[in-house]
Amino acid sequence: MKCILNTGRTVPQGTSVEHKGSDNYRSVTSAGFLNPVDMMMLGIEDGDRVRLTTPAGYIVLTARPAEGVARAEIFVAIGPYANHIISSETHGTGMPDFKSQSVEIEPTEEPVKSVGELMEAIGGLRYDRT
């Protein structure tokens, strides 16, 4: 299913933003909110996982229903999960398409990665001693 990826702030994202290695941050920024009708079309339930693919790569998220999200749109709290698949093109403005990235969504059984795993996928090394 083709959708537009929309990102934004949420209170749970804000309260865990200085705890990026926490399970809480991982859970709130890796949740993809979809219109319940779109979830039905995809044949998925609350808590099932979806794979979002763009030319920049793919990411696995946990699907959550949200009546307020329009059809053919997926809302994800700002953070490393959404950014893993957003193009770095800024169209000469400095600003990437954080709210208008086209994505292909499909159900998946793959697990949701941790923030540390996402950073290690791009050459980082997680620090988890705090």
Partner 1 sequence: MIEHDVVCPFCGCLCDDLELVCEGGKIVKVQNGCALAESTFMNDVRLPSPIRRTESGWEDISYTEAIKETAEILQGADRPLLYGWSSTHGEAQSIGVHIAELIGAVIDNTSTVCHGPSILAIQEVGHPGCTLGQVKNRADVIIYWGCNPIEAHPRHMSRYTTYATGFFVPDAQRERTVIVVDTRRTDTAGIADEFVQIEHSGDYAVLSALRAIVRGKASVIPAKVAGVSKEQLIRIAEICKTAKFGAIFFGLGLTMSRGKYKNIRNAIELTDELNRHTKFVISPLRGHGNVYGSNEVFTWMTGYPFAVDFARGIAFYNPGETTAVDILRRGECDAALIVASDPGANFPRAAAAHLAKIPTVVIDPHVNATTALSRIHIPCTAAGIDAAGTAYRMDGVPIRLKKVIDRGYPDDAEILKKIYDRLNGGKEL
Nearest of 7, 89, 98, 3 to residue 42 by alpha carbon: 3
Residue 36 in the binding site for partner 1 (CB under 8 A): no
CA distance 46 to 61: 12
CA distance 56 to 59: 10
- Encoded tokens for 112: 């949701």
In whole angstroms, how close is the CB of 61 to partner 1 at the nearest point? 15
In whole angstroms, how close is the CB of 128 to partner 1 at the nearest point? 8
Residue 126 in the binding site for partner 1 (CB under 8 A): yes
Q: Which of residues 65-94 bind partner 1 (CB under 8 A)?
A: 66-70, 72-73, 75, 78-80, 83-94
In whole angstroms, how close is the CB of 62 to partner 1 at the nearest point? 18
CA distance 29 to 20: 10
Nearest of 67, 85, 90 to residue 30 by alpha carbon: 85
Q: What is the binding site for partner 1 (CB under 8 A)? A: 4, 6-11, 14-16, 18-21, 56-57, 66-70, 72-73, 75, 78-80, 83-100, 115-116, 118-120, 122-127, 129-130
